[in-house]
Structure 1
């Protein structure tokens, strides 16, 4: 799909916001350091689409007053630690158009079809120099509209990102933000002294198969099955991995309930005590970069499962109805 960018601006909070550095917890720092991208597809808005971008920009400037860290930037503070500079520089807002129609893409089952509907982030040496929040509004020739969002994962996970998007929707519809974000991350500081009460396999490199094992066992015996459980508190990210392990031969030779039981057993172990132990474990690491989660950690035979089934993606109603479709590029 050919997409032409027609305008690109920074949208700043409409009112003054606190200017300070926001401490970033250890659990935030080991998250994948990417912009999590979502594209929402809408049929033709009522009353045409000529002023959709202006309506969205105006509401964005208002909602950023409450969600002001999203208008900031990542920095490295005086101690050499990554932090959030709440400087009000603003969110990137891109306007674009395409000669394609929504119906040209069927049900958008291919993630590659959505890539051009979300702004691309820029990284240097694994460190983003792009705004935390990047928005793209793309108009289709049929009158439909795509809204692409990219939000830096260090600052916000799926649940808290949707809290922002759906709050933005409320402002567009003339409502108030009904649940203000909690931006203080101090509850996620490690204990003093740190107390590690559990083994934390979720922060260890996943196991690999020796080449000779691969040749002997094409059914991929020796794999790891992982399930991610994440709790978000309004832009105060709390993420921990439940990490069940088993032999792939056992997984493929047993009924589906066998694997489900393994996952549930592992998830059931995660409570406040386990989370605190994990935060303390990270505090004791000499180099957090060594345990940063990377996409290449979950190649075959390892896997990560992250369920979005309960997330309110389709509540993103800006006044012209719920999205026809949403997807992750």
Structure 2
């Protein structure tokens, strides 16, 4: 990790609204852990002390605007939480490292990368845990990294990036001119609905391996992370392949790049895992509901505006059919996310006595909560997120990516650096499946 040279609790620069606030029904089923991300910056002519002061003072100002991030969570029963806007602040750590940026290779989320983000002791009471964790690391080569952990109960990816963008503006001496919408009640279940009107397999038991009574053995298997790159040409080939077998009478729009990539990952995983033909397999996809709700969520809604939807088939069907079949299943899942379905999802959560088992954890090998590993997958797309451009006054980052991938079968898809049409697929798989997965992933393009 290096040498910790300074640790700060950063509180809002001025008084902010206090008191306890509800979190939405969407927030209630998010991971209790912090979502880890990191930025790498090229060698810069700024000292660690100066950069830390820039971050400390600008963060204090940013927390006036995004004051929920300075608060704490509290349990209120039934596995549910509320937000106490008590301005106790965020954690900021400055670290001096003898390492070099080249030591981190392709930047895949290894334990060494994870050490660039503050660690958290989740055995502590939840009301003692900061919702925002920041670590600035200066390397011997002059490069820097910024590692962030943001409570997933408080913010999804788009909200987190909105905060980072406004914070960076303040650090550069600019005006933060895009305030967040902080009223989470817009994603509470509607009062006129007393029961869900759809089935919601995303909250139900996930398929198990044939012959197994639970997923404990799969949770405990050794896993590792992969970073697989798809060039623009490879992405276009996958998209063409997915659309190749479409019927001329099919008037629906062609499969998108994301639908093609998602179907390809799902098929490759089933092949690599060598499932029996009749093995059920489920694909979970995270969709952004902001423009799917009626009316759409207010601009710059800050919270969890994403929902999980699922598609299910058998491994045999996926492997024996073309890529278009898998992409079609992915599209069917995404298209389920109508306003009515999303409202029903919120009602489903509201009707549960206890929501504890709906949460998953960004903690490798954790035996608690939901598990989306073998024989299943969960894919999160950052394809449309503004993940690049976090300039805090020392220039643009050279890389941004996930700082950890918590469990087998978790996948992130995000655009390559430079807006060249390439994509990166970051995922965690069981070690025994890695070689076969890489083989099928590239040979089947």
Q: TM-score range by the shorter chain?
A: over 0.9
SS where residue 280 of structure 2 aligns?
A: coil
Contact 1:11–1:61 (8 Å) recurs in 2: yes
2-structure distance, mates of 1:187, 1:312? 24
2-structure distance, mates of 1:47, 1:9? 20
Tell me what 2:389 maps to.
315
Q: CA RMSD in A?
A: 2.5
For residue 247 of structure 1, the aligned residue among 305, 314, 320 is 314
Are 2:304 and 1:237 equivalent residues in the alignment? yes
289-298 or 113-122, larger mean C-alpha shift:
289-298
Give 1:174 deviation, angstroms: 1.4
Using the size of structure 2 for normalisation, the TM-score is 0.69
Tell me what 2:330 maps to.
263
Are 2:364 and 1:290 equivalent residues in the alignment? no
Tell me what 1:228 maps to.
286
2-structure distance, mates of 1:102, 1:212? 44
Count of aligned pairs between the two proteins = 328
Tell me what 1:162 maps to.
161
2-structure distance, mates of 1:324, 1:273? 41
Superposed CA offset, 1:194-238 (max 9, x none): 24221111111211123289x995467211122121346532212
Structure 1 unmatched ranges of 5 or more: none
Contact 2:33–2:361 (8 Å) recurs in 1: no
Give 1:98 deviation, angstroms: 0.7
234-243 or 299-308, larger mean C-alpha shift:
234-243
Give 1:108 deviation, angstroms: 1.8
Q: Against the structure 1 CA distance between its residues 321 and 191, is the aligned structure 2 distance closer, same or farther, given a 3 Å change threshold?
A: same
Tell me what 1:301 maps to.
375
Give 1:312 deviation, angstroms: 1.5
200-209 or 155-164, larger mean C-alpha shift:
200-209
Give 1:292 deviation, angstroms: 2.5
Q: How does 1:73-222 map to 2 (within 5 A)?
A: 73-77=72-76, 81-124=80-123, 127=126, 129-193=128-192, 194-211=194-211, 217-218=275-276, 221-222=279-280
Q: Against the structure 1 CA distance between its residues 65 and 143, is the aligned structure 2 distance closer, same or farther, given a 3 Å change threshold?
A: same
1-structure distance, mates of 2:11, 2:274? 59
Contact 1:69–1:84 (8 Å) recurs in 2: yes
Q: Against the structure 1 CA distance between its residues 6 and 247, is the aligned structure 2 distance closer, same or farther, given a 3 Å change threshold?
A: same
Contact 1:43–1:324 (8 Å) recurs in 2: yes
For residue 327 of structure 1, the aligned residue among 397, 401, 416 is 401
SS where residue 26 of structure 1 aligns?
A: coil
1-structure distance, mates of 2:275, 2:117? 41
Q: Against the structure 1 CA distance between its residues 35 and 319, is the aligned structure 2 distance closer, same or farther, given a 3 Å change threshold?
A: same
Using the size of structure 1 for normalisation, the TM-score is 0.92
Are 2:343 and 1:276 equivalent residues in the alignment? yes
